[in-house]
Amino acid sequence: MKQIRDIMSTDCVTVTLQDNLYEIAVKMKMNDIGFIPVVEGDKLIGVVTDRDLVIRGYAEKHSGSTAVKEVMSTDITTITPETSVDEAAKLMAQNKIRRLPVVDNGKLVGVVAIADLAVREIFVNEAGMALSDISENVDHMASSNH
């Protein structure tokens, strides 16, 4: 059975409590990501999503210099490197989340995204069915335009 350690990303972009909203937004833009773990040393203490920046940050009229602590989530669902890929997929579905920090004894060791699971053929049947539906619709549309 495949474990998360086999598919997780280990080159995580992180921020610390010294970072502010503007710095987080710039890191998200530069790395084309919408999720950044907040660490103290190598210990995971929170996460910030692009939605957190908008809802808890700018929509609350916080400036770019506002501390990360004001917008980060500390109630985080995490998994360990030994978690099975299937279990991670279930957790994501149950909690309606697309990314999970991977933690070993409190230390952030990686992140797994729903795309990592999809690429690893967890959702092959669903993806295959969706793709065939899309193809059929495109073929149908193409043939009806002639």
pTM value is 0.78
Q: What is the pLDDT of residue 31?
A: 96
CATH code of the domain covering residue 11 = 3.10.580.10
Neighbour count for residue 5 (Cβ, 10 Å): 16
Residue 101 pairs in a beta bridge with 111
CA 141 – CA 146 distance, rounded (Å) = 9
Identify the CA nearest to 117 among candidates 104, 107, 108, 127.
Answer: 127
Per-residue pLDDT in tens (0 to 9) along the chain, 146 residues = 789 999 999 999 999 999 999 999 999 999 999 999 999 999 999 999 999 999 999 889 988 899 999 999 999 999 999 999 989 999 998 988 889 999 999 999 999 998 888 755 544 454 444 445 544 544 444 444 44
- Secondary structure (DSSP) of 88-123: HHHHHHHHT-SEEEEEETTEEEEEEEHHHHHHTTTT
CA 21 from chain center: how many Å? 18
Q: How many domains does the chain have?
A: 1
Q: What is the pLDDT of residue 140?
A: 45
Q: Which domain holds residue 63?
A: 4-144
